[in-house]
Amino acid sequence: MFGTSMGRAAAYAKVGTETGVSTADPHKLILMLFDGALVAIGTAAVALDSKDIQTKGNSISKAIEIILNGLKISLDMEAGGELSERLAALYDYMADRLLHANLHNSRPALDEVVGLLRELREAWAQIDGKAAGAA
C-alpha cells in the first residue's frame, strides 16, 4: 500500500518538512535553508566518495538552488546595505565553488562551502537568541 520502507520514510520526512515550513517564522525558514544546503552537500560528498555521479550532480544542483534561490533571494538589499551585498557575493562564490566541485570531483571545494555555510548558520542562529532575549 505504501511502497518500500525507504519510500515511506521519504514521504514522512517530506510531510514533516512541509509542516515545518508552513509553521516556521522567517528566521526559522532561513535556518531550514542553511540546513537543507548542508544536507545536500553532505549527500554530494558521500556520492562523490562512492563515485555515484548522478547523485553527486543532483545533490550539488540542489545545494546551488537553495543557496541562490533561497538564501540569496531572501536578502533585503535595501535594508541590508553593504552586508547584504557582501552576503550576495559570498553566495555567488559558494555556487561557483560547488560548480567547481561538481566538474572536478573536488572534495576540498565541497568542504570549503560547508565551512562557510556552517559559520553563517551559526551566526544566524545566534541572532534569533539575541532577539528573543531583547524582547
130, with CB counted inside 10 A (0-12, 13-18, 19+), is exposed
pLDDT tens readout for residues 71-95 = 999 999 999 999 999 999 999 999 9
Q: What is the pLDDT of residue 6?
A: 43
Torsion of the alpha carbons at 63, 41, 124 and 86, rounded to the nearest 10: -60
Q: What is the pLDDT of residue 135?
A: 44
Domains of the chain: 26-134 (1.20.120.340)
- Looking at the chain, how many residues does it have? 135
Q: Grid coordinates representing 54?
A: 548522478
Q: In the chain, pLDDT over 90 holds for what percent of residues? A: 73
Q: Grid coordinates representing 84?
A: 547584504
Residue 44: name the closest of 119, 118, 117, 105 by CA: 105
Q: What is the pLDDT of residue 60?
A: 98
pLDDT tens readout for residues 6-57 = 444 444 445 444 544 555 688 899 999 999 999 999 999 999 999 999 999 9
Q: In the chain, pLDDT over 70 holds for what percent of residues? A: 77
Q: In the predicted model, what is the mean pLDDT of residues 62-71?
A: 98
CA distance 38 to 36: 5
Q: What is the pLDDT of residue 125?
A: 94
Q: Grid coordinates representing 16?
A: 514533516
Q: Grid coordinates representing 127?
A: 541572532
Q: What is the pLDDT of residue 130?
A: 57
